[in-house]
């Protein structure tokens, strides 16, 4: 008996073993935001799914098909059976593919993470769309909403082909996203969230569009612990602007203070909009992020 | 009160270097470029008010601040700031340094001499010499020496200062001040600095025309020393050697005094010297030939001055006095016959009279050519006086005479009848004689009757009238006069008394005419000397006590000792106040003269330290400035 040939790798983003594990997981949003179209997610409202939910008194005008005749036979009173309503949920992947994400494998972590969320969405029959922001004023790379396992390869190709360049800030990317997107669900934002703009506005727009923000902030190790002992001229990778600092070691405490403050603000903004926030280092393996940090924090189940 | 200032304010323009410094700092600051994903966080950091607080700004531009401070310190150093040490600053300042014998006294066993202390203080002045100041170093003992002109060349001044050594002679402040006064005519100054222990007479015959800053050095320790050494021929034929021991005001105690004759110890005695008292001793020595004596004083306790602990005396060989008197001067020959230890020539039995004589008494001018140490001419005018004195026959009388002159002691000349008449020529006077070195001992009615002249090698008396033409030979004082002349001849020949030579200059030495000699000093230095036509070597400086060897072709020809023998130097007394003419008094300064303290070295050191700190912080310190 010949041994089985190894299964070919589906994508360079995630290993087959990770994909196998992802098949058994699904995104666990804080709220339940779904679209009216039928789907696999139970909505808060009563529906026509096969899953029984409750009984209620019959009132004239109700559809007699949902009268429980067995109870009517025993009690001589008509009761109406109610069923859960299952609606469709959108999983929007917003990937920051600006030049700043090229640093120290930030984009290389952002892409598999986004792919993992896309895979979970597709495997759970959710509508998955993806956006990647690059240049200010330019149209974002966009993967139209798709559903089902058959679209996994399309999703992988879209994400694999992303390259980091441009200077688009995140809030502009949100604007571009919402110009095309329709539907409620979650918006997985993978970015470093280092923007001069007003992030709060972007989160508000997402919230009002019915998308729960799931923010994943990826920072490189040197961003978390900068090595700026002496005088330096810092150059912004996106705008090429420069900033001179003297005695950089003196400023590290302040830097950490501001970095922590940004994390806290982002976490607060996400939490207030029924979302989640997770800061990770680009040096962290994707498996560790997915199956350790995110599972422990209830991002996926 | 003015605490200090700058010596070179013209260098203030260097402050303008601040402009290019700041300019280049910002233009040329080579910051390493570091590309980072985003400036978001860093911009927020730099906008934080804590970063922009003055202290943080200071820390951010610490390098610039250090460089500005460095430049400021360098500019300050270039301005040559100084901390004022003295009450004022003089552009020219003559510095008198006493280097007499007492300056060699130590303050304690193994301590520093007064001269070393003075040199230390002068050296401090030289080190602190400002660029606009000039010093003129003058050392003085019995003569002043200008070591440098007015200069601010520190090396030159230091070298000159190092050359100053103690001379075993007494100091003469007056001569030094006169030299300084002469200097002031060409290069004016306001103040003169005097470093001395004050061992000079309290009254100085000098019209002080400048401010004298008298820096009196601290007194030295106790001292005992030999202050006099002489010998007289004893009646027994030997010599009585007299030694006097004195001490400083605070010196008392015992000592041993040892007499060496030709290097051999002849006597050793213990003495005790009371405070402020002198101790006199007499040694007897007997020798037919010339001997060299050395008296060595060895105090039991600490003795601050060693130069006065030894004295030297040369005794001539004992012999009769050789006297030449022509037979025509019968009265003189008759008077001489009563005096012992005299060989009278020509003898009564013959006319032979050759060789050198100790005394020549003659009324014949040609006899004055006979070699002799002492001559007495009688009845004629010496050739060098004939321009001023002529001899007449009108008779004369004694007007006055020098009763204190040794040759006229106990000689009564009143009512002396003189038939000759020596008289001044027209327009001549006593001043003309003095210009020739003559001293009038007996004044006549129209001119001198007896004159005396002391040359370097001979003593001359001239009786300008013939005694046979006077009543002098018939007077009681005549044999006394002759004996006084004999006594002067004995002293001149060194047969009656011997005095120790003092330092300063050696006595004239009789050697071979035109001979070339080397004088080896006690410090083993050698000087050349040449004898004159008469074989006399004179004017040999003897600044140090000890033996001076006269060498001829490398072989010792003679040895002469020179001793300090100065009661004032031995006493180490220092005057606290000097009195000048017109009752002008200068007291010793109570404040030690301080020089301006230059600060530029300190500023340079600070700048260097700052440079090292900067280098360490920015290059070497791990993790940079925390």
pLDDT at B87: 46
Answer whether residue A58 is part of any domain.
Answer: yes
The answer to whether residue A6 is domain-embedded is no
Domain contains A227: yes
**Do A147 and A275 have their domain in common?**
yes
pLDDT at B625: 45
| CB within 8 Å: B624 and A220 | no
Structural domain total, chain A: 2
Percent of chain B with pLDDT over 70: 92
Cα distance between residue A142 and residue A131, in whole Å? 5
Q: What average pLDDT does range B156-163 have in this prediction?
A: 94
CB atoms within 10 A of CB B457: 15
Mark yes or no for CB contact B31/A244 under 8 Å. yes
Tokens 């002992």 belong to A229
| Beta strands, E only, B109-187 | 134-140, 144-146
Q: B338 or B463: which carries more pLDDT confidence?
A: B463
B236-263 confidence digits (pLDDT tens): 778 899 999 999 888 888 999 999 998 8
Tokens of B336: 């001489």
pLDDT of res. B382: 93
| Residue B221 pLDDT > 50 | yes
Residue A70 sits in the same domain as residue A193:
no
Which helix (H) or strand (E) is B114 found in, with range? helix B114-127
Mutate to test the interface with B, among A235, A250, A266 (most CBs of B within 10 A): A250
CB-based contact, A184 to chain B, within 8 Å? no
Q: Is residue A288 part of a domain?
A: yes
Distance, C-alpha A57 to centroid of its chain: 41
- Multiple choice CATH, B92-220+572-595, 3.40.50.410, 2.60.40.730, 1.10.3210.10, 2.50.20.20: 3.40.50.410
Q: Is B57 on the interface with A (CB under 8 A)?
A: no
Q: Which residue of A has its CA nearest to B34?
A: A234
Question: What are the residue boundaries of the structural domains of chain B, listed by start?
Answer: 4-84+600-620, 92-220+572-595, 224-318+564-570, 321-494, 504-562
Residue A132 has pLDDT above 50, yes or no: yes
CATH class held by domain B224-318+564-570: mainly beta
When CB atoms are compared, the residue of B34, B48, B51 closest to A234 is: B34
Task: Supply the pLDDT for residue B52.
Answer: 64
What pLDDT, in 10s, does the model give residues A186-222? 899 999 888 888 888 888 988 888 888 999 999 998 8
Does residue A7 sit at the B interface (CB-CB below 8 Å)?
Answer: no
How are beta strands B357-362 and B321-324 bridged, if at all?
A: parallel
Asked if residue A45 has pLDDT above 60, the reply is no
Those residues whose C-beta lies under 8 Å from the C-beta of residue B518, and which sit 6 or more positions away, are B526, B527, B528, B529, B550, B551, B552, B554
CA atoms of A132 and B577, how far apart (whole Å): 104
Looking at CATH, the fold of the domain delimited by B321-494 is given as: Rossmann fold (3.40.50)
pLDDT value for B386: 93
Lowest mean pLDDT among A118-127, B22-31, B149-158, B490-499: B22-31
Q: Are B29 and A231 in contact (CB under 8 A)?
A: yes
Does pLDDT of A280 surpass 90? yes
Helix ranges (H only) for chain A are 16-23, 69-75, 106-123, 152-160, 170-180, 199-208, 221-224, 248-272, 286-288, 295-296
One domain, residues A127 and A104:
yes
Chain B interface disruption, residue of A225, A231, A264, A281, most B CBs within 10 A: A231
pLDDT confidence tier of residue B3, bands split at 50, 70 and 90: low
Inter-chain Cβ pairs, chain A and chain B, closer than 8 A: 110
Q: Are residues A248 and A123 in the same domain?
A: yes
Q: What is the pLDDT of residue B161?
A: 94
Say how far apart CA B34 and CA A196 lie, in whole Å: 20
- Which residues lie below 8 Å from residue A197, measured CB to CB, with a gap of 6+? A169, A170, A171, A172
Give the pLDDT confidence score for residue B351 in this predicted structure.
Answer: 65
Q: Rounded to 5 degrees, what are φ and ψ at B21?
A: -60, -50
CB–CB contact A192 B37 (8 Å): yes
Cα–Cα distance measured from residue A184 to residue B219, given in angstroms and rounded to the nearest whole number:
110
**Distance of alpha carbon B132 from alpha carbon B135, whole angstroms:** 10
- The token duo for B567 is 């009661």
pLDDT band of residue A36 (cuts 50, 70, 90) is low
Same domain, A78 and A153: no
Q: Does residue A262 contact residue A270 with C-beta atoms inside 8 Å?
A: no
Q: What pLDDT shows up at residue B120?
A: 92
Among candidates B316, B342, B319, B322, which has minimal Cα distance to B231?
Answer: B316
Residues of chain A contacting B625 with CB distance shorter than 8 Å: 247, 249-250
Q: What is the pLDDT of residues B519-577, one digit of tens each?
A: 999 988 899 999 988 788 888 889 899 999 999 988 988 889 999 888 888 888 888 89
Q: Which DSSP helix (H) or strand (E) runs through B27?
A: helix B18-28
Indicate if A219 and A251 belong to the same structural domain: yes
Contact with chain B for residue A229, Cβ under 8 A:
yes
Confidence at residue B94, expressed as pLDDT on a 0 to 100 scale: 92
**What is the distance in angstroms between the Cα of A106 and the nearest Cα belonging to chain B?**
10
> How many CB atoms neighbour CB B96 within 10 A?
26
Q: Which of B26, B38, B53, B62 to substitute to test the interface with A, most A CBs within 10 Å?
A: B38
**Of B329, B67, B282, B226, nearest to B562 (Cα)?**
B226
The dihedral formed by the CA atoms of A144, A145, A147 and A149, expressed in degrees to the nearest 10: 40
- Band the pLDDT of B469: cuts 50, 70, 90: very high
Q: In chain B, which residue's Cα lies nearest the Cα of A227?
A: B623
Q: Take residue B13 and report the two structure tokens written for it.
A: 């323009």
Q: Is the peptide bond before A3 cis (omega within 30 degrees of 0)?
A: no
What is the CATH classification number for the domain harbouring A287? 3.40.50.410
- ipTM of the prediction: 0.79
- Same domain, residue pair A80 and A218: no
pLDDT classification of A1: cutoffs 50, 70, 90: low
**Do B92-220+572-595 and B224-318+564-570 have matching folds?**
no
Q: Where are the beta strands (DSSP E) in B464-512?
A: 497-499, 504-505, 509-510
Interface of B with A in 12-31 (CB under 8 A): 29, 31
Token code pair at residue A284: 């962290």
Hey, is the C-beta of A253 within 8 angstroms of any chain B C-beta? no
- Residue A4 near chain B (CB below 8 Å): no
C-alpha–C-alpha distance, residues A117 and A28, integer Å: 11
CB contacts of B63 in chain A (<8 Å) are: 231, 246
What pLDDT score was predicted for residue B86? 57
Give contacts of B65 with chain A, Cβ < 8 Å: none
Which residues of B250-320 form beta strands (DSSP E)? 253-261, 264-273, 279-285, 291-299, 310-315
Q: pLDDT category, B54, cuts 50, 70, 90? A: low
Predicted confidence at residue B69, as pLDDT, reads 86
pLDDT tens, B88-104? 556 788 999 999 999 99
Distance, CA of B393 to chain centre: 52
pLDDT in tens, B189-205: 888 999 999 998 889 99
Q: Which token pair is B371?
A: 């070699």
The residue with greater pLDDT, A287 or B317, is: A287
Residue A64 DSSP class: G
Q: Please give the residue of chain A at the shortest CA–CA distance from B44.
A: A258
A230 lies within 8 A of chain B by CB: yes
Contacts of B60 in chain A (CB under 8 A): 245-247, 250
What pLDDT is recorded for position A9?
81
Taking CA–CA distances from A100, the nearest residue in chain B reads B37
Is the bond into A234 cis (omega within 30 degrees of 0)? no
| pLDDT tens for each residue of A236-258 | 887 888 887 776 667 888 889 99
Give a yes or no: residue A68 inside a domain: yes
Residues A122 and A231 in one domain: yes
The predicted pLDDT at position B390 comes to 93
Q: What is the pLDDT of residue A99?
A: 85
A13 in a domain, yes or no? no
Structural domain of A60: 37-87
**Residue A5 domain-assigned (yes or no):** no
How many angstroms separate the Cα of B338 from the Cα of each of A86, B235, B410, B450, B483?
Answer: 174, 16, 17, 24, 9
Both tokens of B515, joined, read 């001979």
What pLDDT, on a 0 to 100 scale, did the predictor assign at position B459?
Answer: 93
Question: Where does A124-198 have alpha helices with state H?
Answer: 152-160, 170-180
- Pick the residue from chain A with its C-alpha nearest to B57: A246
Phi, psi of A300 (to 5 degrees): -130, 160
Residue at A233 is within a domain: yes
| A44 pLDDT higher than 60 | no
Q: Is A256 in CB contact (< 8 Å) with chain B?
A: no
Percentage of residues in chain B with pLDDT exceeding 90? Answer: 43
* H-type alpha helices, B377-474: 430-435
**Average pLDDT value over all residues in chain A:** 83
List of chain B residues whose C-beta atoms are within 8 Å of the C-beta of residue A218: none
- Output Rg (C-alpha) for chain B, integer angstroms: 38
Mean pLDDT in residue range B339-349: 84
Smallest Cα distance from A52 to chain B, Å: 53
CA distance B3 to chain A (A): 40
């Amino acid at each position: 008996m010949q041994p089985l040939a190894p299964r070919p790798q589906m994508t360079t983003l995630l290993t087959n073993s990770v994909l196998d594990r992802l098949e058994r997981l699904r995104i666990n949003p804080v709220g339940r935001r779904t679209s009216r179209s039928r789907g696999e997610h139970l909505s808060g409202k009563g529906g026509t799914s096969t899953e029984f939910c409750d009984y209620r008194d019959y009132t004239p005008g109700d559809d007699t098909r949902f009268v429980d005749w067995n109870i009517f036979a025993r009690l001589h009173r008509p009761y109406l059976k109610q069923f859960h309503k299952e609606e469709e949920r959108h999983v929007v992947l917003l990937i920051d593919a600006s030049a700043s994400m090229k640093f120290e494998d930030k984009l290389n972590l952002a892409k598999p993470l986004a792919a993992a969320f896309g895979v979970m969405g597709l495997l759970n029959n959710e509508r998955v769309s993806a956006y990647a922001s690059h240049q200010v004023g330019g149209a974002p790379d966009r993967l139209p909403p798709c559903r089902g396992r058959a679209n996994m390869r399309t999703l992988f190709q879209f994400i694999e082909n992303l390259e980091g360049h441009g200077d688009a800030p995140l809030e502009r990317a949100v604007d571009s996203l919402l110009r095309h997107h329709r539907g409620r669900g979650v918006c997985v934002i993978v970015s470093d969230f280092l923007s001069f703009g007003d992030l709060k506005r972007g989160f508000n727009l997402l919230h009002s569009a019915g998308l729960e923000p799931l923010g994943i902030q990826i920072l490189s190790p040197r961003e978390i612990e900068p090595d700026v002992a002496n005088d330096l001229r810092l150059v912004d990778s996106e705008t090429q602007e420069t900033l001179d600092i003297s005695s950089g070691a003196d400023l590290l405490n302040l830097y950490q203070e501001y970095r922590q403050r940004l994390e806290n603000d982002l976490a607060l903004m996400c939490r207030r909009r029924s979302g989640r926030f997770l800061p990770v280092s680009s040096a962290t393996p994707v498996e560790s992020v997915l199956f350790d940090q995110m599972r422990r924090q209830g991002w996926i189940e | 009160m003015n605490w200090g200032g700058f010596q070179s304010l013209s260098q203030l323009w260097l402050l303008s270097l601040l402009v290019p410094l700041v300019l280049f700092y910002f233009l040329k600051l080579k910051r390493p470029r570091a590309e980072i994903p985003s400036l978001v966080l860093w911009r927020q950091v730099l906008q934080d008010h804590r970063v922009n607080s003055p202290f943080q700004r200071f820390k951010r531009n610490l390098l610039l601040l250090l460089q500005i401070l460095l430049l400021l310190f360098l500019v300050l150093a270039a301005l040559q700031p100084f901390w004022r040490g003295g009450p004022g600053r003089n552009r020219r300042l003559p510095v008198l340094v006493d280097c007499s014998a007492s300056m060699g006294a130590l303050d304690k066993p193994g301590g520093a001499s007064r001269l070393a202390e003075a040199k230390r203080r002068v050296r401090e002045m030289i080190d602190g010499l400002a660029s606009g100041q000039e010093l003129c170093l003058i050392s003085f003992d019995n003569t002043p020496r200008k070591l440098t002109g007015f200069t601010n060349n520190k090396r030159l001044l230091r070298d000159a200062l190092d050359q100053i050594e103690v001379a075993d002679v007494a100091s003469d402040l007056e001569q030094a001040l006169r030299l300084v006064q002469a200097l002031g005519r060409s290069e004016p100054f306001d103040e003169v600095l005097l470093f001395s222990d004050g061992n000079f007479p309290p009254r100085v015959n000098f019209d002080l025309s400048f401010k004298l800053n008298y820096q009196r050095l601290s007194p030295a320790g106790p001292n005992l020393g030999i202050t006099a050494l002489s010998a007289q021929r004893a009646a027994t034929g030997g010599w009585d050697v007299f030694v006097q021991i004195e001490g400083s005001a605070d010196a008392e105690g015992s000592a041993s005094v040892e007499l060496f004759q030709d290097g051999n110890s002849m006597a050793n005695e213990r003495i005790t010297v009371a405070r402020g008292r002198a101790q006199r001793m007499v040694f007897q020595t007997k020798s037919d030939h010339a001997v060299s004596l050395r008296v060595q004083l060895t105090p039991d306790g600490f003795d601050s001055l060693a130069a006065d602990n030894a004295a030297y005396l040369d005794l001539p060989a004992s012999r009769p006095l050789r006297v030449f008197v022509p037979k025509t001067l019968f009265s003189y020959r008759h008077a001489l016959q009563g005096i012992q230890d005299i060989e009278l020539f020509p003898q009564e039995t013959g006319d032979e009279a050759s060789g050198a004589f100790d005394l020549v008494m003659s009324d014949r001018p040609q006899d004055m050519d006979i070699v002799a140490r002492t001559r007495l001419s009688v009845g004629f005018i010496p050739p060098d006086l004939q321009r001023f004195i002529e001899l007449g026959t009108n008779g004369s009388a004694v007007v006055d005479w020098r009763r204190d002159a040794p040759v006229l002691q106990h000689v009564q000349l009143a009512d002396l009848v003189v038939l000759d008449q020596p008289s001044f020529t027209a327009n001549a006077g006593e001043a003309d004689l003095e210009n020739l070195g003559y001293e009038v001992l007996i004044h006549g009615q129209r001119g001198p009757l007896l004159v005396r002249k002391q040359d370097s090698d001979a003593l001359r008396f001239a009786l300008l009238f013939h005694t046979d033409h006077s009543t002098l030979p018939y007077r009681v004082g005549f044999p006394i006069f002759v004996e006084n002349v004999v006594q002067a001849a004995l002293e001149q020949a060194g047969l009656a008394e011997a005095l120790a030579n003092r330092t300063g200059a050696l006595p004239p030495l009789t050697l071979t005419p035109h001979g070339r000699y080397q004088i080896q000093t006690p410090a083993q230095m050698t000087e050349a000397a040449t004898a004159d036509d008469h074989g006399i070597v004179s004017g040999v400086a003897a600044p140090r006590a000890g033996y001076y060897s006269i060498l001829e072709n490398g072989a010792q020809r003679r040895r002469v000792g020179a001793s300090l023998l100065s009661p004032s130097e031995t006493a180490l007394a220092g005057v606290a106040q000097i009195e000048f003419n017109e009752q002008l008094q200068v007291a010793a300064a109570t404040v030690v003269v301080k020089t301006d303290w230059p600060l530029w070295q300190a500023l340079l050191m600070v700048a260097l330290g700052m440079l090292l700190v900067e280098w360490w912080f920015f290059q070497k310190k791990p993790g940079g400035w925390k």
